[in-house]
Structure 1
Amino acid sequence: MAGFKPISTKWDRENRNEHNRMFEELYKGIGGVVGTITEETIKKIIDSAKLNWLDFVDVYEDIDSTYPNPIAGDAVMSRNDSADYPINADDKRQGGTVWRFNGSKWEPIQSFDASAINNVADTLTEQVDKTQATVVNANFEPEIIAHRGFGRLYPENTIYSGVKSAETGAAIEFDVRLTKDRVPILMHDASVDRTTNGTGNVSDLLYSEIRGLDAGSSFSSRFAGLKIPTLEDYLSAIQGTKRVYVDLKGIETPDELKNIVTMLMKYGFDHNCILQLDPMDNFAENIKTIRQVSSRMIIGASCGNQEKVDAAFPLLIKDGKGAFSANKGTATEANLMRARRNNIDYAISIIYSQQEVSRYARIGFTKLMTDDITEVQY
């Protein structure tokens, strides 16, 4: 660790501010004594010494994604060694290293023994998380989300199921795909085989072919004649719903994504819409595209495994308006608390019983997606 001077002093924010003030007073004093030091030179020296302390990051590689727009003087400590540390004798990516942004890059300026800091930080985080969970559980009233419009009660992704779900006061989740002629319709599967009397992939069928299919008989004869709705017809029918979760599938171009976002906004679904995307499929670019149209829409990550959760976290944190829609396999207390610390919603799918409601309430989850509201009354 050549060039590093380990110190053990624990600085709080007040001491750090005092450190900056002392540097300023010191160099102002020097300027008064040595007349050859100009005001500009003094300012440069002061600015080079000032530190704006930011919250810790886990490892050095997290700095850019956590603080994408740093300013000169920003300083941050990495709590742990980088995964491949050390790669050579000059590698400073060790836990406890403080990095300062000099205006163009992050440079190491100091090294601490990170173990004591990490122990305190972990203890405080654990205490905060437990307190949050206690408060949530004491006031537990979950948001029930009608998965595909309560797909065990009504033919999924139909206007009928959407209207009936809205009548319960639930939020509604539904799926959107594009037909061969790029008309957005409601359909979960890649093909129409399971839920209609037709066959073939949605992407291979024209809307004129799809609109003639029966989307109700395969569920029950009493729903015979229900149609696959266009996204626009569906949104028009459920206006006033408190929140929608829109699972986008097979969207291929930025213009297609922008058109769907624009349509959602047209029917009043902007800040109360969670637009769910696959975090492994061009997620960063899709976020940028959505933000060109809406600054308020919540961008969600549809996550079926922990790999997707881990991929989505830094991008949702950076965007600042994130949400997860994840299966029960990723519904861990650790994931929930990390999401909560970063103001990210977390909805679980799919809940099948009151026992599951109680189980996830104890952990602290409040947004529960289900196919059957009669099984999860509270």
Structure 2
Amino acid sequence: MSKRQVVSRDDYELYSIKMPFLLRKKQRDSFIARQLEKMHPRFSTACSVDSKIGLSKKGLTASVAVMDTVTLAKYKSKTSSRLFLEGNKKRTVFSMHTSFLYSFTVCFALTLLFFLSYFVFNSVKKKPAVTVPQIEHYESEPIEKDFSLFAFSSVLEKIKVNSGIVSSLCVEQNKMSLEVRNCFPEQILSSDVGIEPSVSELVYRQDEPLFSLSWKRTYFTEPKPLENASVLSQQLRNSLKEKSFIPQSELINAVGMTLYVDEKDFSLCMNSLSEFCLENKLDFKMLSCKKENSQVNLSFELVHSETELTIHSLVAANSHLFVPQKKYESPSLYVSPQRNFIGSVLQKDGHLVQFYLDEDGKIKGVYK
């Protein structure tokens, strides 16, 4: 076993770069290169870059380590495994075979020697052309995520902050769409959301703004088919029936159903579905939530999923946005005369006077 190699703090720079959503790998590399040109004072083709992309409180961010390629080759000559960073040993970088690094270093050295020779023997001084540095890009772990889910999470957070309500949600394999009321598009689609969806015109219903937005879903891995669909369907059916949720119809040779849920029970239903999905590593391939009178029409199909961020967890955690809790005003206390009855007095003339407490706490008499 090779000895763990730790990169000295003086031999690397670590940057955190906020990333836009919905970028393919080449686009991500180009974006990181442009940002490093601004942030790293000596960034050039002599640099090697390792990046990891993940979701943080700031949104989608890239943790980017930058090293001089020759210095990196010296470290990699001592180990064939990944390197660890001094001061941040949980962060591993440059997981790459040594032979490839040697080849890259030799090519880089020959290229550098060629340019030095050119400037030494060429008597005519010319201003070198400005070129955009190409990243020698390393990724310690493959990125296999539906990045549109990060955008979905940001949109839901914006709706929550601005007291909006989701009237309907439709998730398809290649598209997501929402109908939102009680807030405005500019409150939701700020720059940090990271998407540019299609937005409908703004209309007003019962003095509330209403609009819809939709965007494409981006898959880096296709969902895997379910091999035990019939078993999972039965387990899901039984799980929902235990909580008094009865399906109206079910899919054949797939895991999915349609059911009507009372709006007061929508959160319970979504949390039950989320727990089932979590236990069986599932997520929604298709989901439709639409309020109809005092019920929610819920249709869905489940597929295998191992992504960190899931649709079921986002919808369950934000179920109050789909069916907001009604606020009931406490009615003024009214107690029937029988409960406010104090007593009665029979007068000499034979009339009966009954005494009660009124709403102000005063005694009132009623002749009978």
TM class by shorter-chain length? under 0.3
**Structure-1-length-normalised TM-score:** 0.24
Bigger Cα Rg: 2
**Structure-2-length-normalised TM-score:** 0.24
Greater fraction strand: 2
